[in-house]
Structure 1
Amino acid sequence: MPSRCEIFCEILIAVLIPPLGVCLRHGCCTIEFCICLLLTLLGYVPGIIYALYAIVFVDRDEYFDEYRRPLYASPA
């Protein structure tokens, strides 16, 4: 589970560049990243709202596997 500092940094990045914040949390080429990228291209504010939702509320452990592990995750 990520620490509060990691979550805060992801939220800060998500406000500045929404797809990058989602990419750090869920990885690139995931459905969350694609949706966030599309919403950011259509409008900056919807991209921010979805990025915050994807970072805070979507449980990444449900989709977690060894090949899509984020960079900061410690090995089990």
Structure 2
Amino acid sequence: MDVNKLILVLLAILLPPVAVFLHRGIGSDLVINILLCLFFWLPGVLHALYIITR
């Protein structure tokens, strides 16, 4: 795992939408992540980790 991915994983735990934005940019993944974070924090974190690690 390189340093960039490690930073994104840490950021995904703290601020999931920011991590998804930095990894994928503005798009459907970011909108989905923001909606998941609005419902609860954990689904947003899991989605962000999935986006970053796939």
TM-score scaled by length of structure 2: 0.95
Match of 1:19 in 2: 17
Which one has a larger percent helix, Structure 1 or Structure 2? 2
Q: Percent identity, please.
A: 33
Residues matched between the structures, number? 54
Q: Where do 5+ consecutive residues of structure 1 fail to align?
A: 58-76
Q: Where do 5+ consecutive residues of structure 2 fail to align?
A: none
Pairwise CA distance, 1:52: 0.2
Which protein is bigger by CA-based radius of gyration?
1
- After TM superposition, which residue ranges in structure 1, 4 or more long, deviate above 6 angstroms? none
For 2:10 and 2:50, the matched residues in 1 are separated by 13
For 2:45 and 2:9, the matched residues in 1 are separated by 9
Give the root-mean-square deviation of aligned CA atoms. 1.0
